[in-house]
Structure 1
Amino acid sequence: MYKYLLAFLLLSSAAQAQSVEFSKEQFSSNKDGLKAALKSIKLGDEWYQNDPPRYEQALPHYLEAQKFNSENAELNLKIGDCYLHSGFKPRALAYLQKAYQLNSGVDPRIHYLLGRGLHLNGKWQEATAEYKQATPATGTKNTAGFTQDIQKKIKECENGRKLEARPIRVFVDNAGPGVNSPYPDYGPVISADESVILFTSRRQGSTGGEKDPESGGFFEDIYQSVREGKSWGPARGLGETVNTAGHDATVGLSPDAQRLLVYVEDNGGDLNESNLRGAEWSKPRQLGSRINSKAHESSAAYTPDGRSLLFVSDKPGGLGGRDIYKIEIEGRGPAVNLGLTINTPYGEEGVFLHPDGKTMYFSSEGHNSMGGYDIFKSTYQNGQWSAPENLGWPINTPDDDVFFVISASGRHGYYSSFRDDGMGSKDIYQITFLGPEKPPVLSQEDQLLASRVQPVKETLLAPPVPVATAQVTILKGTVTDATSKQPLEATIDVIDNSRNENIASFRANAQSGRYLVSLPSGLNYGIVVRQEGYLFHSENFDLPAGAAYSEVVKDIQLQKLDVGVKVVLNNIFFDFDKATLRKESTGELERLQKLLAETPALRLEISGHTDNVGNAAYNKDLSQRRAKAVVDYLVTKGVTKDRLTFAGYGDTQPVAPNTTKAGRQQNRRTEFKVTGK
């Protein structure tokens, strides 16, 4: 009985609520307060009624008037409408509900606006009910477009209800004060190993110090932070070579954090590229008319080899508002639209390609979005992109979720969001993916005779649930001079050994010597580090398809060409227990041949080495035959015999302990020694 009485009283209260007007009759005892409130409303209306409306500028004036009179239906509606067009959209609902309570006919759009407020607060069924009552405003010419919009939003609510019922297991944590400020911070891009983050901020102290007259906020600048332990260090601006007095925003970053894609407002919105030279970023250069057009190019991502670009544009001929395209940066062909599997009749935005080279993340207003832009994932398989998969709740929300990036390990993602624990405005957040839920621990007790003092108890521990990781290996470290230990801006070539093809080239940082190379699983890679005036250094990574994520730190010391210097040829391969060179050795042999051709006086000893497994005499003979095979190959390519000698040392010159598998592998090697120059 009590709950029915309470419901009746609430309904009666709602029925009796009336809008209180800003009039002398209502506020005869506070004329000064009324005058100030009316002035605030007038100032707000000037922005609200602007074409286009300036909601963010209007809102503070309306909120000031609200302090004087919170019971006016029209003012509550305007505040709610302003919040719907702000970064704090969920706050709109309370004001819209109050406006409707005070006057159900306050505005012809009220059911639509209530639907939006409920939708943005994840109240899926209530929002759907309001959308179904919404009607187009008087004078609306495109009623078909309005109906289509309503149907789409109802579908989004249904998507949201389903996705929220199956939340994914993640932690979402504020990235901290090193990155975030009381001003808007967004657009994070990261190096593959999460050691560096760059982002866009509209904070005080921007280059030029001016504010955008349209938004009222500071102009955008680009900032960089370096990881310090588990936290991000204090961010610093990139300087006036990159940041201008206008808007400069992050778009994409190469896996090694040496190349940065920058958005500028030229020509309607273009993409530029800046390169890291030592500790300074170069002045951004235009990417050219094959990528930039008179339309709006808003976001982009490098492929892992750095040779191609995925980018977003609303240029004519697309499938929707904005589409995702792919193009070879240094090629001549046109950009290729990724097609209907990815692009929809609505907008796509914020494209990012994982360092594995086959997993793409992007935002879309289409597919099964739960509202605005949602973040999706698609995988390149058998020559085509898979159907996009919504990343799910709570990463995606009813509001726009855009510009998501993820580490090479696949463990951490980054994006910007408005949340209650923010530092004052939009902040950058780190998402930690926890993987599938671990099954509960089962406890089984035997049902034995009651006369037993204690039952026999068996505890079955649930097996650990591994977190899915990306199929990519990160190779990183520093390149230095072997003698002086000074960093070198060496070139790192990535070779597909099976095809003897150079598939990517990178440079170590000129100041630090640091390098980072992303190696997607599925190939036998040769890594060649070279610098003019030094002998080349090679490494080998045979990564079968499906190989799990790993990070390898390899500091490389390049040696100058001096008598007595030894270099291991890590990309020379033989058939098992034979001295037959495999075809994957071709690239390494050609590099050795080139070295001899460029240095006519150079003389080398080619040597073979084994581990200590097996008969020592046999190992020595096998190692000698393998060294001779290399010499024979070089002679067939025109190198004279008097410049080459060969030797087999078997297991007599180990470079690592033979007590481990890794050590024995290092000892099984072919190398050369400079005997004359």
Structure 2
Amino acid sequence: MHKYLLAFLLLSTAAHAQSVEFSKDRFGNNKDGLKTALKEIKSGDEWYNSDPPRYEQALPHYLEAQKLNPENAELNLKIGDCYLHSGFKPRALAYLQKAYQLNSGVDPRIHYLLGRGLHLNGKWKEAMAEYKQAIPATGTKNTSAFTQDIQKKLKECENGQKLADKPTRVFIDNAGPGVNSPYPDYGPVISADESVILFTSRRQGSTGGEKDPESGGFFEDVYQSNREGESWSAARNLGETVNSAGHDATVGLAPDAQRMLVYVEDNGGDLNEANLRGATWAKPQRLGNRINSKAHESSAAYYPDGKSLLLVSDKPGGLGGRDIYKVEIDGRGPAVNLGPAINTPYGEEGVFLHPDGKTMYFSSEGHSSMGGYDIFKSTFENGKWSAPENLGWPINTPDDDVFFVISASGRHGYYSSFRDDGMGSKDIYQITFLGPEKPPVLSQEDQLLASRALPVKETLLAPPVPVATSQVTILKGTVTDAATKQPVEATIDVVDNSLNQTIASFRANAQSGRYLVSLPSGINYGIVVRQEGYLFHSENFDLPAGAAYSEVVKDIELKKLDVGVKVVLNNIFFDFDKASLRKESTGELTRLQALLTETPALRLEISGHTDNVGNAAYNKDLSQRRAKAVVDYLVGKGVSKDRLTFAGYGDTQPVAPNTTKGNRQKNRRTEFKVTGK
């Protein structure tokens, strides 16, 4: 009986708990404790009641006072309110509930604050109940805005409940000590192949070493880390060339990690661009007035061709808050708002464009957000952006989720978050997408003739679950001198062979010779590598629409113009089993014509080659006719006939064994050899 009586007494005490004041009656002889507590509360109130309130500065003082008296309703409410405005918002709930338990009338805002605390902890139904009891704070002039806010938060809870019931299958792992520190680390951007990550940090050791007087934390600096196996190398500060004594934050990185967008506080918030020169980033340069305005430009992302940006700005004329625009970097036209399919009456932020050039990720307070900013995905198809799709729980939370980026493969995403396994503050996390779960198969046998004593059975395989992959190919490698093996800072042109147009140009790294090119599916690409003093090198990638993600490593050796040097012309195409040139060959033929024009003494042998499939005599004749077709084209464009010869070698000069389909394709080629210069 005694234990039941004790439980009743405890419940009665809890139900009638009263707030304990900071007074002599509470502290008795502990005068020093009371003095310390009141001093801490006074210091906290100075920050809490400032304009604007400084919640993060007030919180440590309130927590010290709370150690001396945890039963004060007003103090618990202030602690909860401070946590609601911190990076650890879910911690607010326990303090707000304690404040309400001690004094249900502690503050007119209590039901709204309880709703926020429950909302941020994913307690959707309980949060909705509190929101429905919320009333405007004393002195609120615009009650209609408060009502709209409550309605929006109720809708967010409904969205959260639906999304949490069907979670996205992912692993979310801390990126580790190479990237993260005990200080805030956020805003990750990555190269398309995940070999490089740049991010913003407010850690000790920042450039200038000073702290922001408003926030109390160190000024932002840009850091870089490189992939080493399964982990990241120790991050390094990019130094005074990139980072100033003020705030510097990275917001965008080109797929090849050779160009970076940096946010600076100039002019209310502008975007600068830095280029990688060898192993060193050059000083960021301000982008033009069409990109930076008197408004706040907070985020941007490169298109794969490097010619345009997706831009976030709160410039006048938007749909509400910050909007996403598209703008050409070196063009003349104005930035174009993406319109109401993407932009809402609320805020949009943290835009990122996948290397496929058509899949956009961004954060929004609108659409089907479950609270604050959620990360959404939209695809550009048939001339318009698709309806944004919420990435779901647990990627998105009731708090702000922004600045998400994803690898070219679509396998890994990166963003920053406050989590229990963090290293002390906001950390960067890697998201691994697992794809849809394979449905269970309860029986894999179909009893076709069940009436028989020994039924005939057919084994049924579980239907395969499609794994979504990005429709993009990453071509990467190094460019070197064929003789010296030293890196060459060559230009890599990406050509649409069907249109004979150069759609993008990149540079190999001056120090390493490394390059990376992103090739969205659906185009017959010609890749042309050129550098003054060398013969051009060409590659062909014909990627049909819908081609799945792949990574191709291609090291390229550029050859100097010497007698006897051979160069394969990978972008010359013939009709099947014929010697008629296809129109996709025009670009390669034009480059060969330009080479002959620029070097008047140059003499070439054009040769055709086949694999060993079929009749040898026929193959030799076909290869000769194809070589002659190239010569005839060049002569028709004004090249002197006595500078050119042609030959067909059939299958007699293979460059690879004719044992695989890929090798046979290599052997079917057109090439030229320098015979004089």
Give the TM-score of the pair, scaled to structure 2: 0.97
Q: How does 1:482-631 map to 2 (within 5 A)?
A: 482-631=482-631
The letter for the 2-side match of 1:433 is F
Residue number in structure 1 paired with 2:639: 639
Question: Could you say if the C-alpha distance between residues 305 and 3 of structure 1 is closer, same or farther in structure 2, counting changes exceeding 3 Å?
Answer: farther
**By how many angstroms is 1:12 displaced?**
2.7
Q: Deviations over 1:158-207 (max 9, x none)?
A: 00000000101000000000000000000000000000000000001111
Does residue 468 (structure 1) correspond to residue 475 (structure 2)? The answer is no
Q: Secondary structure at the match of 2:626?
A: helix
Q: How does 1:649-660 map to 2 (within 5 A)?
A: 649-660=649-660
Q: Deviations over 1:500-543 (max 9, x none)?
A: 00000000000000000000000000000000000000000000
Query: In structure 1, how many angstroms separate the alpha carbons of the residues matched to 2:310 and 2:633?
Result: 43
Query: In structure 1, how many angstroms separate the alpha carbons of the residues matched to 2:609 and 2:163?
Result: 59
Residue number in structure 2 paired with 1:202: 202
Does residue 424 (structure 1) correspond to residue 424 (structure 2)? The answer is yes
Q: Deviations over 1:79-117 (max 9, x none)?
A: 000000000000000000000000000001000000000
- The answer to whether the Cα contact below 8 Å between 2:203 and 2:218 also exists between their aligned partners in 1 is yes
- The answer to whether the Cα contact below 8 Å between 1:308 and 1:327 also exists between their aligned partners in 2 is yes
Residue number in structure 1 paired with 2:345: 345
**By how many angstroms is 1:439 displaced?**
2.3
Query: In structure 2, how many angstroms separate the alpha carbons of the residues matched to 1:218 and 1:642?
Result: 72
Residue number in structure 1 paired with 2:450: none
Question: Could you say if the C-alpha distance between residues 457 and 636 of structure 1 is closer, same or farther in structure 2, counting changes exceeding 3 Å?
Answer: closer
**By how many angstroms is 1:250 displaced?**
0.8
Residue number in structure 2 paired with 1:396: 396
Q: Deviations over 1:339-376 (max 9, x none)?
A: 00000000000000000000000000000000000000
Larger deviation: 459-468 or 285-294?
A: 459-468
Q: Secondary structure at the match of 1:161?
A: helix
Residue number in structure 2 paired with 1:103: 103
Q: Secondary structure at the match of 2:95?
A: helix
- The answer to whether the Cα contact below 8 Å between 1:444 and 1:457 also exists between their aligned partners in 2 is no
**By how many angstroms is 1:438 displaced?**
1.5
Query: In structure 2, how many angstroms separate the alpha carbons of the residues matched to 1:139 and 1:510?
Result: 63
Residue number in structure 1 paired with 2:139: 139
Q: Secondary structure at the match of 1:25?
A: helix
Q: Deviations over 1:98-142 (max 9, x none)?
A: 000000000010000000000000000000010010000121111
Question: Could you say if the C-alpha distance between residues 460 and 34 of structure 1 is closer, same or farther in structure 2, counting changes exceeding 3 Å?
Answer: farther
Q: Secondary structure at the match of 2:306?
A: coil
Does residue 323 (structure 1) correspond to residue 289 (structure 2)? The answer is no
The letter for the 2-side match of 1:624 is Q
Query: In structure 2, how many angstroms separate the alpha carbons of the residues matched to 1:401 and 1:106?
Result: 31
Q: Secondary structure at the match of 2:139?
A: coil
**By how many angstroms is 1:2 displaced?**
13
Query: In structure 2, how many angstroms separate the alpha carbons of the residues matched to 1:8 and 1:482?
Result: 88
Query: In structure 2, how many angstroms separate the alpha carbons of the residues matched to 1:527 and 1:168?
Result: 38
Query: In structure 2, how many angstroms separate the alpha carbons of the residues matched to 1:456 and 1:325?
Result: 63
The letter for the 2-side match of 1:586 is T
Residue number in structure 2 paired with 1:271: 271
Q: Secondary structure at the match of 1:26?
A: helix
Residue number in structure 2 paired with 1:332: 332
Unaligned runs of 5+ in 1: 448-453
The letter for the 2-side match of 1:663 is N
Question: Could you say if the C-alpha distance between residues 483 and 428 of structure 1 is closer, same or farther in structure 2, counting changes exceeding 3 Å?
Answer: same
Residue number in structure 2 paired with 1:261: 261
**By how many angstroms is 1:28 displaced?**
1.6
Residue number in structure 2 paired with 1:451: none
Unaligned runs of 5+ in 2: 448-453
Q: Deviations over 1:298-346 (max 9, x none)?
A: 0000000000000100011000100000001110000000000000000
Q: How does 1:131-210 map to 2 (within 5 A)?
A: 131-210=131-210
The letter for the 2-side match of 1:638 is G
Q: How does 1:304-323 map to 2 (within 5 A)?
A: 304-323=304-323
Query: In structure 1, how many angstroms separate the alpha carbons of the residues matched to 2:263 and 2:257?
Result: 17
- The answer to whether the Cα contact below 8 Å between 1:442 and 1:461 also exists between their aligned partners in 2 is no
Question: Could you say if the C-alpha distance between residues 619 and 61 of structure 1 is closer, same or farther in structure 2, counting changes exceeding 3 Å?
Answer: same
Query: In structure 2, how many angstroms separate the alpha carbons of the residues matched to 1:433 and 1:445?
Result: 32
- The answer to whether the Cα contact below 8 Å between 2:251 and 2:301 also exists between their aligned partners in 1 is yes
Question: Could you say if the C-alpha distance between residues 558 and 223 of structure 1 is closer, same or farther in structure 2, counting changes exceeding 3 Å?
Answer: same
Structure 1 consecutive aligned stretches of length 4 or more whose deviation exceeds 2 Å: 1-15, 439-447, 454-467
Residue number in structure 2 paired with 1:91: 91
- The answer to whether the Cα contact below 8 Å between 2:445 and 2:460 also exists between their aligned partners in 1 is no
Residue number in structure 2 paired with 1:76: 76
Q: Deviations over 1:542-574 (max 9, x none)?
A: 000000000000000000000000000000000
- The answer to whether the Cα contact below 8 Å between 1:320 and 1:344 also exists between their aligned partners in 2 is yes
Question: Could you say if the C-alpha distance between residues 444 and 382 of structure 1 is closer, same or farther in structure 2, counting changes exceeding 3 Å?
Answer: closer
Q: Secondary structure at the match of 2:26?
A: coil
Query: In structure 2, how many angstroms separate the alpha carbons of the residues matched to 1:236 and 1:526?
Result: 37
Q: Deviations over 1:463-487 (max 9, x none)?
A: 5534211000000000000000000
Query: In structure 2, how many angstroms separate the alpha carbons of the residues matched to 1:2 and 1:530?
Result: 91
**By how many angstroms is 1:14 displaced?**
3.4
The count of corresponding residues between Structure 1 and Structure 2 is 672
Q: Secondary structure at the match of 1:605?
A: strand
Does residue 232 (structure 1) correspond to residue 232 (structure 2)? The answer is yes
Residue number in structure 2 paired with 1:242: 242
- The answer to whether the Cα contact below 8 Å between 2:446 and 2:460 also exists between their aligned partners in 1 is no
Q: Secondary structure at the match of 2:158?
A: helix
Q: Secondary structure at the match of 2:27?
A: coil
Residue number in structure 2 paired with 1:114: 114
Residue number in structure 1 paired with 2:294: 294
**By how many angstroms is 1:13 displaced?**
3.0
Residue number in structure 1 paired with 2:20: 20
The letter for the 1-side match of 2:48 is Y
- The answer to whether the Cα contact below 8 Å between 1:442 and 1:459 also exists between their aligned partners in 2 is no
The letter for the 2-side match of 1:232 is W
- The answer to whether the Cα contact below 8 Å between 2:444 and 2:461 also exists between their aligned partners in 1 is no
Question: Could you say if the C-alpha distance between residues 526 and 113 of structure 1 is closer, same or farther in structure 2, counting changes exceeding 3 Å?
Answer: same
- The answer to whether the Cα contact below 8 Å between 1:445 and 1:455 also exists between their aligned partners in 2 is no
- The answer to whether the Cα contact below 8 Å between 1:443 and 1:459 also exists between their aligned partners in 2 is no
Query: In structure 2, how many angstroms separate the alpha carbons of the residues matched to 1:554 and 1:216?
Result: 49
Query: In structure 2, how many angstroms separate the alpha carbons of the residues matched to 1:594 and 1:3?
Result: 98
- The answer to whether the Cα contact below 8 Å between 1:442 and 1:462 also exists between their aligned partners in 2 is no
Does residue 406 (structure 1) correspond to residue 406 (structure 2)? The answer is yes
Query: In structure 2, how many angstroms separate the alpha carbons of the residues matched to 1:523 and 1:464?
Result: 29
Question: Could you say if the C-alpha distance between residues 649 and 7 of structure 1 is closer, same or farther in structure 2, counting changes exceeding 3 Å?
Answer: farther
**By how many angstroms is 1:25 displaced?**
1.6
- The answer to whether the Cα contact below 8 Å between 2:446 and 2:459 also exists between their aligned partners in 1 is no
Residue number in structure 1 paired with 2:48: 48
Q: How does 1:662-677 map to 2 (within 5 A)?
A: 662-677=662-677
Give the TM-score of the pair, scaled to structure 1: 0.97
Query: In structure 2, how many angstroms separate the alpha carbons of the residues matched to 1:455 and 1:264?
Result: 75
Q: Secondary structure at the match of 1:656?
A: coil
Does residue 282 (structure 1) correspond to residue 311 (structure 2)? The answer is no
Query: In structure 1, how many angstroms separate the alpha carbons of the residues matched to 2:367 and 2:665?
Result: 50
Query: In structure 2, how many angstroms separate the alpha carbons of the residues matched to 1:387 and 1:547?
Result: 24
- Percent of residue pairs identical: 89
